[in-house]
A and B are shown apart, each in its own frame.
Chain A
Amino acid sequence: MTDAVLSLRGVGKDYGKRTAVGTIDLEVRRGEIFGLLGPNGAGKTTTISIACGVIAPTRGTVEIGGIALATAPRQAKQKLGLVPQDLAIYEELSATQNLRYFGALYGLRGAVLAERIAWALGAVGLAERAAEPVKQYSGGMKRRCNLAAGLLHRPELVILDEPTVGVDPQSRNHIFDTIRALRRDHGMTVVYVSHYMEEVEALCDRVAIVDRGAIVALGTIEELVAAHAGKGFELELAGDAAAARAAATAHGAVSGDGAVLRLVPTGALAPAIAAIEATGARITSLTSRGTNLEAAFLALTGHALRDGGP
């Protein structure tokens, strides 16, 4: 309650009988860079679309800077900047023309608008080519223009949905630097949505791991790693892997396929090994699976994050 810039309480969305987001509770604190990490289709975009008032939730409430989105949408939205997952800019127009329009949506006009446009273009490193039509930009420049359009009104909270998709490493670093500077120089709070583990690890103070429309863990990266990584094991099997897999299910979360079995035991490891060997399968190797966010993710969700990836 104290200094939450964004709070979601019991937020969820159903599309017909399909549940895109179950029930999400979340508080983003003032001044932090908060990560929302999850595979494609986990419900990240749906969640933040509800947080921004772009789609109406099936259940739950949203507050931005202490203002209820449902009762005072205009005031709540004024505190928030959204950088959508898609390149939500007009390709035929120049960066400046785009920003003039998007700034006006937040009530910016005249000299203030001109000053904010100059600032935002400088912040994302597009000042020199601001007069060109956006369609002539590289993928990375388009992304940076997309970012600038969400910053003009200096929101308390910026929500960035996969802002680095299809971007070269140089633009990506530029975007990261911009995000850090927004917090440092302007005290902005950032919600960073991504399905890239290493981005979230590099940038975020706290992370919520989203899977199948629910938050499965929330904390600092250190907390998540300490609590969930290092518990998992990877076994290589010879013999009847299917039977071994079935036997292991009774002793923890099982994933992997073929001869590889990944296991996060609910209790001790020994009974699980005994059960596997009792099926006649042989364990040819056993390794503990690292102590990083990736291992934590695997342990929490039972599957790898990357389904294709960059």
Chain B
Amino acid sequence: MIVAAIRKDVWLLLRDRGALISLFALPIVFILAFGSMFKFGDGDHQPRVIPISYPAGSELGRKIQRAIDGTLGVAASYVPSDAEVRARVVSEAALAGIIVPADFDPAHGRRIELVLDLAGPIQIRGPLEGVLTGAVMRALAPVDLGALPAMVDVRSPPGLAQPLPEASGFQISVPGNAVLFGFFIALTTAMSFVGERRTGTWRRLLAAPVSRSAALLATLVPYYLVGLAQLGFLFGIGAGLFGMRVAGSLPALVVLSMCVSLCAVSLGLLFAAIATTEKQLGGVGSVMLLVMGLVGGCMFPRVAMPAFMKSIGLAVPHGWALDGYFDILVRQGTTIADVLPNIGALLAFAVGFLVIGLWRFRFDA
């Protein structure tokens, strides 16, 4: 009996592509993605390159460079100008850089500058700051650390907006999860379409004197509003309970959220056009949304991902949404204009999803 039951369930499982993917393929995707993300270097045993500038012939500069080279996971690379160090950090070509001034004199405020994006995710910024400050201190040793003024200034280079003072981890975890779960409204939307088709309420709708576009909107609009309410709720809880703050403009947060919700229900229409059963959606659809969230940086910041992963993050709307939210929540003075590229990208994704969705949608299936 048990054998027969096992056989039956294996047959059923083999027929259920969604379940197979989530049971077997999904963990592999996550193992690969997380594995390559957490690797500190860019390739195999490749350390993160830290650009360093110092006056030609500076003994201190060379000592710091050697100290960094001797530190696991990072390697220093001499660049001829301070501007070049800052430019590399601004362009995200490097996570951090070191500038040793010609007149290094900590007692009079001429300190070594550690250049990094203070608005970057704390998971990345924290360890880097520790590692690089440590390397500088070793180069300066032996000195009586307690008796001396601070040796290192940590600064964002000009070109990157200043973060809120004391940004908490919620500045990152709230938008990350808001985007991840905000996009799950796509699944709810698609389930609703497929469910209406299965029960026959869709038939009733088509027999009623409403146009086909109105029939679609009758499902899309309610879920769009639910999606907005969900984002509002999550950011509201984040601000009210967890002390999340909005560094940029509130209208920008609202407009970006409207675009996220629009993009999500459009993806829902696309899912509904492709899927035929709710089971299929629950399997394949939820896996797709998780993977999109993962590569989009909802679970692990994209800044620290290898270049390849970083670029595919922008192939999903999640990456654009999250970048926009980070700027609005963490960087002071962020306006709608600053997140226009993100808004544009989300709208473009929405239009793409709608066009393919409408093309594939079967009204009378």
Q: A54-B364, A55-B364 are in contact. Are A82 and B211 (CB under 8 A)?
A: no
Contact B205 A105 (CB under 8 A): yes
Q: Which of B6-14, B196-204, B266-274 contacts A (4 or more CB under 8 A)?
A: B196-204
Contact B204 A78 (CB under 8 A): no
A77: interface (CB < 8 Å): yes
Q: Which of A84-92, A122-130, A249-257 contacts B (4 or more CB under 8 A)?
A: A84-92
A40: interface (CB < 8 Å): no
Query: Contacts of A75 on B, CB cut-off 8 Å?
Result: 209
Per-residue A-contact encoding for B201-236, CB less than 8 Å = 1, 0 else: 101111111110000000000000000000000000
Chain A CB count within 10 A is highest, among B201, B207, B210, for B207
> How many Å from the CB of B2 to the closest CB on chain A?
33
B195: nearest chain-A partner, CB-CB:
A90
Contact A77 B207 (CB under 8 A): yes
Q: A49-B364, A54-B364, A102-B204 are in contact. Are A86 and B199 (CB under 8 A)?
A: yes
The interface residues of chain A, by DSSP majority, are classed as loop
Contact B199 A88 (CB under 8 A): yes
| A58–B230 alpha-carbon span in the complex (Å) | 43
Contact A84 B209 (CB under 8 A): no
| Number of B positions contacting A (CB below 8 A) | 13
Contact A74 B211 (CB under 8 A): yes
Contact B201 A54 (CB under 8 A): no
Contact A89 B208 (CB under 8 A): no
Chain A CB count within 10 A is highest, among B199, B203, B208, B210, for B208
Query: Contacts of A52 on B, CB cut-off 8 Å?
Result: 206-207
B206: nearest chain-A partner, CB-CB:
A54
Q: A87-B199, A87-B200 are in contact. Are A106 and B364 (CB under 8 A)?
A: no
Query: Contacts of A55 on B, CB cut-off 8 Å?
Result: 364
Q: A74-B211, A105-B208, A106-B208 are in contact. Are A82 and B203 (CB under 8 A)?
A: yes
B204: nearest chain-A partner, CB-CB:
A88
A107: interface (CB < 8 Å): yes
Q: A74-B209, A77-B209, A106-B208 are in contact. Are A88 and B203 (CB under 8 A)?
A: yes
| A78–B209 alpha-carbon span in the complex (Å) | 6
A22: interface (CB < 8 Å): no
Per-residue B-contact encoding for A103-120, CB less than 8 Å = 1, 0 else: 001110000000000000
| A75–B210 alpha-carbon span in the complex (Å) | 10
B364: nearest chain-A partner, CB-CB:
A55
Contact B364 A56 (CB under 8 A): yes
> How many Å from the CB of B218 to the closest CB on chain A?
8
| A80–B200 alpha-carbon span in the complex (Å) | 17
Query: Contacts of B210 on A, CB cut-off 8 Å?
Result: 74, 105
> Which residues of B pack against A, CB within 8 Å?
199-201, 203-211, 364
Interface CB pairs A-B, < 8 A, 12: A53-B206, A54-B203, A54-B206, A55-B364, A73-B209, A75-B209, A88-B200, A91-B199, A102-B204, A105-B209, A107-B209, A150-B204
